[in-house]
Amino acid sequence: MQYTLVVIYLYKQTTSVTIEYNMPPPSPSAFLLLTDADLLNNRFAYDIDTIVWNIQYGAINLRTLVRTQTLTPYVCCKYVVFGGRNEMYACGTEDAWISTDDILRHQPHISSQEMSDAHRLADAEDAQEDEQDTMTKEDTAISSTIHVDVMRNA
């Protein structure tokens, strides 16, 4: 659990405004930790929640994933194409170069229109996440430079 305290000075007084709670990742026991060998040996076997958890918290090769599991257009756009937001899910150079054409070739159930729609949604979410990251960094910088005085009411 992490708490971020944001402090604002109003009329020369220190006032706490918000406490932000960041959810911890689901416990590893909630999902099966997959390896590339699991993906290759059990083609089209894993549910999308297990796949997403492993993309976020595991270390699977995205290129292997695309070739061996059934994915949704949203998962492909959000996590797989070009390694996801800022290449954060890529496990190497090959993962960072996965394109929409690669997805359409290896996921024949997905249409280019579905990918286009999913790209719009994922891009909007990524922009919002980038903005939140920027605000969090600014809040951290501000709170680290302000001395917080705790005032108690009697």
Q: Which of the residues in the chain have pLDDT under 70?
A: 1-29, 138-154
Residue 92 is predicted with a pLDDT of 87
Asked whether 78 and 122 are in contact (CB, 8 A), the reply is yes
Residue 114 is predicted with a pLDDT of 96
- Can you give the pTM of this predicted structure? 0.69
The count of structural domains within the chain is 1
> Is residue 4 included in any domain, yes or no?
no
Residue 29 is predicted with a pLDDT of 61
> Is residue 97 included in any domain, yes or no?
yes
Q: What does each C-alpha distance from 152 to 8, 14, 15, 143 come to in angstroms?
A: 17, 12, 12, 20
Residue 12 is predicted with a pLDDT of 45
Residue 130 is predicted with a pLDDT of 81
> Is residue 131 included in any domain, yes or no?
yes
> Is residue 108 included in any domain, yes or no?
yes
Asked whether 114 and 77 are in contact (CB, 8 A), the reply is no
Q: What does each C-alpha distance from 123 to 42, 109, 117, 126, 137 come to in angstroms?
A: 31, 22, 10, 5, 21
Please give the full DSSP string across 92-141, using - where no structure is assigned.
SHHHHT--HHHHHHH-TTS-HHHHHHHHHHHHHHHHHHHHHHHHHHHHHH
> Is residue 99 included in any domain, yes or no?
yes
Burial group, residue 12, by CB count within 10 angstroms (0-12, 13-18, 19+): exposed
- Range(s) of the domain holding residue 93: 30-141
> Is residue 15 included in any domain, yes or no?
no
